[in-house]
Chain A
Amino acid sequence: MLELLEALLASTLDYAPALVFAALGATLSERAGVVSLHVEGLMRTGAFVAAVAALSLPTPLAVCVGMAAAAAVAGVHALLSLRLRADQVISGMALNLVALSLFSFLLEARFSPTGTPPIAQLSRHGLPALEGVPLLRALNGHTALTWLALALPFALSFLLYRTAWGLRVRAVGEAPAAVATLGVSVAGLRAACVVGGGLLAGLGGAVLSTSTLDRFEQHMPAGLGFMALAAMVFGRWSPLGAFGAAVFFAAGNALRVGLASSAPGVLAVVPQGVLMALPYALTLGVLAVQGGRGQAPAALGQPYDPEHR
């Protein structure tokens, strides 16, 4: 039983980081009032660019390159939605379509239709002291990014709720006009959050190709970006809530995969597909119960025009 729990925890910790980083990225950008449907495309960008960079660079550096590339894509979203007043939903979906086709094209043009050649994965670490502790030893044998995924939500929560900058970010998502009266640039602050969200979502994608697997595969991230959005909504647009939801979804996935291999009888009663639909169905259920816009920032998706009040 204990071993089973440890295996489940270890598998959750492998699956969760990508989802956690992407959900945090989406949360940061949406708290500033900018819709982030482009998370899927950002993850794909981060995953592809990190894997390709890792073919010639040390992998940790390659992860940073992947993050930078995703931040650049997020920059396009900021330009379109903040400077050019494009519809944020349209801009996000357009970037998803571009990322989907662009990296399929580059993948096939440079490598093979299915994936890049294998790269050196990020190294895995562990604390020798934890080796003897039951349950907690499942924390060992993961990359540094897993540890970061456990710490970053608290850092982002502190930043958003305990610093002056965070107060401004939250305010710019609720009442941008009020922030503008303080002499703060609404567009500048929002752009910073969108690009910062891009860095985080890119990191989430890079996890997939440098830690979870050792290459970029054609279908990455296969909808994880949308599951990250579900985690953000389920977590009520707060970093810790999104973190909790992401870990919850990841644990559910670990449980499903674990059941498939160790207790297929259970899956005859509750089919895999039904379990796979659960994260989204639960998120819908929460929204339906809460009603209205849920806990979404009040000015989410509305371009700020200083000349209109």
Chain B
Amino acid sequence: MADGRLARALPSLLAVTAALGACFVALAAALGDAGLAAEAFGQMALGGFGDVPRWLSTGDAAAVLRPLGESAGKASVLLLAGLSVAVAFQVGLFNIGAQGQLLWGGLAAAVVGAAVQLPPALHLPVCLLAAAAAGAAWALLPTALKLRRGVHEVISTIMLNWVAVALVENWLVVGPLQGPAGAGTAEVHPSAVMPRLLGESSRLNLGLPLSLAAAAAVAAWLLRTTHGLETRAVGRGQEAARAAGLPVEGRTWTAMAVAGALAGLAGAVLVLGSELRYPGRLAAPYGFDGIAMALIGGNHPLGVAASSLLFGALRAGGTRMQLLGVHRGFPELIQGLALLFVAARLGWAWLLLRRKETPRA
């Protein structure tokens, strides 16, 4: 069993390693100095996983906790977005729309966080629920188009992403929902902010445990319940599932609602964890990064968690590469290449199978 899991994770590990290697070679070539490139990668590691040498030599725990807090912030958003894409994949749909669902989730969290007065123990959960509901609602549009009108979800979710960007960022947050501080909504009440777990020494907040709990819950649902098994059966083969008497449409609705809710939560973690309001433009396109996380993680909730933790750390560490004049977007290049290698990997498997079969034929 353990061997089987390792064998399944191996191609992704190889792809990530290959991407790291390729980017190292490219950086060394671009800088004309392999030593400098190695130093930049070292800085990325120190910035992502914590400056352990400094902690050991000076006893300054913040040298480790602060970078880990930054990594956790990125990892939790990546993880929720990745889970969104992975859950949709499990039911056989390609959720390119995580980005749009994330924007609506972030907006709902910001609005409920700023406009509603509630005791702290209640306010944050209500904000999260609102974000999940907003994301789920936006995900149900392409689902309805798919199930009722047969419109392919790849095209419809791409279109809905840009509808969301236009409506949220070019209208709502610069129009009816604009706060006093220019483009963007008003700041949320302190009772809606994700509490920090380690005080002032680190920005580590509730987002990371929340996203890890989401991964565990999704894993339990998909792998340990009948409902989850049926969902995966629909994803593996709709006709077979229908022939077996499974409620194909019902499982598709549920899975897409969960996918949208997860992406909405990613937006909420972004807004309530670091931005504290919906800004004029909501950060990086984490919804698209979610596609990379899902595929590098093999669409398995725990695989998505592993790849999100890794790339969250690398991307947080990227800011430290700037010390050596390397653009902080460098880790995203590693991530893009890793996804490209994973995409190609599915093909390699096909080629190898073919080679094996040919002599017999």
Is A212 an interface position by the 8 A CB rule? no
Contact A94 B347 (CB under 8 A): no
Number of interface residues of B (CB under 8 A): 53
**Proximity string of chain B (151-192) to chain A, C-beta cutoff 8 Å, 1 when within and 0 when not:** 110111011111101111111101100000000000000000
Most buried by A among B150, B158, B159, B351: B159
Residues from chain A with a CB closer than 8 A to the CB of B165 are 223
Most buried by B among A83, A93, A104, A271: A93
Contact B163 A277 (CB under 8 A): yes
Contact B170 A102 (CB under 8 A): no
Residues from chain A with a CB closer than 8 A to the CB of B162 are 223, 226-227, 230, 277, 279-280
Most buried by B among A105, A226, A271, A294: A105
Q: Which of B30, B163, B350 contacts A281 (CB 8 A)?
A: B163
Is A101 an interface position by the 8 A CB rule? yes
Q: Which of A80, A227, A271 contacts B343 (CB 8 A)?
A: A80
Contact B167 A273 (CB under 8 A): yes
Is A59 an interface position by the 8 A CB rule? no
Q: Closest CB-CB distance, B280 to chain A, in whole Å? A: 12
Q: Which of A98, A230, A271, A288 contacts B149 (CB 8 A)?
A: A288
Size class of the contact patch on chain A = 35 or more
- The 16 sampled A-B contact pairs (Cβ below 8 Å) are A37-B154, A83-B347, A85-B346, A86-B347, A89-B154, A93-B96, A94-B342, A97-B289, A97-B335, A98-B333, A100-B332, A273-B169, A274-B167, A284-B151, A287-B156, A293-B150
Residues from chain A with a CB closer than 8 A to the CB of B343 are 80, 86-87, 90-91, 94
Is B206 an interface position by the 8 A CB rule? no
Q: Give the contacts of A41-64 with B (CB-CB under 8 A).
A: none
Q: Closest CB-CB distance, A276 to chain B, in whole Å? A: 4
Q: Give the contacts of B267-291 with A (CB-CB under 8 A).
A: 285, 288-289, 291
A102 with B336, Cβ < 8 A, contacts A89-B154, A277-B162 known = yes
Q: Closest CB-CB distance, B263 to chain A, in whole Å? A: 15
A288 with B151, Cβ < 8 A, contacts A95-B340, A105-B327, A229-B158 known = yes
Is A11 an interface position by the 8 A CB rule? no
**What are the 5 A-B residue pairs with the smallest beta carbon separation, nearest first?**
A273-B171, A84-B347, A273-B170, A277-B166, A98-B336
Distance between Cα atoms of A271 and B332 in the complex (Å): 34
Contact B336 A101 (CB under 8 A): yes
Contact B145 A97 (CB under 8 A): no
Q: Give the contacts of B309-350 with A (CB-CB under 8 A).
A: 325-327, 329-330, 332-333, 335-337, 339-340, 342-344, 346-348, 350
A98 with B340, Cβ < 8 A, contacts A84-B350, A291-B149 known = yes
Closest chain B residue, CB of each to CB of A109: B327
Is A233 an interface position by the 8 A CB rule? yes
Q: Closest CB-CB distance, A251 to chain B, in whole Å? A: 17
